[in-house]
Amino acid sequence: ETGVTQTPRHLVMGMTNKKSLKCEQHLGHNAMYWYKQSAKKPLELMFVYSLEERVENNSVPSRFSPECPNSSHLFLHLHTLQPEDSALYLCASSQDYYTGGFWNTEAFFGQGTRLTVV
Amino acid sequence: EDKVVQSPLSLVVHEGDTVTLNCSYEVTNFRSLLWYKQEKKAPTFLFMLTSSGIEKKSGRLSSILDKKELSSILNITATQTGDSAIYLCAASRPVTGNQFYFGTGTSLTVIP
């Protein structure tokens, strides 16, 4: 258990459905992320929230809509998805800290949601 | 363009072998290099490297960063079947909330 919890673990949805992915972190981190992991591709950053404000969305299609109501919770709202959106969606959180004369970063991932769009 | 490249893409070894996984990065305002192990779902954190030339160790795993060569290696000695996984490296740079650039990973298979 990494301290980052994602639900659901598996989701099958039709192209006309609306669903939401949830992520919760208990680490006191100040930044949260959504990543998409497709086969044989690097992890793709979708959204970054820092102190509950979105700082990047990397031109993700509007059928993905993030929400960060507080620093511990992050949602990804899904609607009218396409089959190519089927992937593993990973949530992560991070925190910077200063030690030994350097800024360091720790980042942990949730277990992911395996999404299948049919 | 910021990027992270890992090699080899895949590796098959026998139990007891020692392996070295490579990661090179080109990331503006680089801060840290992170290694993760991914078995089924969530990548699990292994190491974070910020200083060049200082080895970090955890059991049979060790890693070191070379900022001059913009690279890092992850060594696994006396490999076991439980080491079979995808090993990811990520370079971070400080934007608000950090930006992490991931490589495609090295798939390691350890055969009994």
Residue A18 Cα, gap to closest chain B Cα (Å)? 24
Question: Whole-angstrom Cα distance, residue B42 to residue B59?
Answer: 21
Residues across chain A: 118
Q: What pLDDT score was predicted for residue A21?
A: 98
Measured between CB atoms, which of A40, A49, A104 is closest to B97? A49
Cα distances (Å, whole numbers) of residue A50 to A96, A104, B14, B25, B98: 11, 16, 44, 24, 9
Pairing mode, strands A10-13 and A113-117: parallel
Q: Percentage of chain B surpassing pLDDT 70?
A: 96
Chain B contact present for A48, CB below 8 A: yes
The answer to whether A104 touches B48, Cβ cutoff 8 Å, is: yes
Q: Could you say which of A51, A103, A111 has the minimum Cβ distance to residue B31? A: A103
Q: For the segment B75-111, what is each residue's pLDDT rounded down to a tens digit? A: 999 999 999 999 999 998 876 656 788 999 999 999 9
Within 8 A of B44 by CB-CB distance, chain A residues are 2, 109
A79 to A37, A39, A84: CA distances (angstroms): 19, 22, 13
Vertex A28, ends A22 and A30: CA angle to 5°?
A: 80
Residues contacting B94, CB < 8 A, separation 6+: A96, A103, A105, B29, B31
Predicted pLDDT of residue A114: 95
Inter-chain residue contact A114 with B41, CB threshold 8 Å:
yes
Give the CA diameter of chain A: 52
CB contact under 8 A, B44 and A31: no
Per-residue pLDDT reduced to its tens digit, B44-70: 889 889 888 889 999 999 999 999 999
pLDDT, averaged per 10 consecutive residues of chain A (118 residues), comes to 88 93 93 89 85 76 93 95 94 82 79 94
Contacts of A106 in chain B (CB under 8 A): 45, 48
Token code pair at residue B48? 């974070």
Question: Would you put residue B92 in left (φ > 0), alpha (ψ -120 to 50) or beta?
Answer: beta
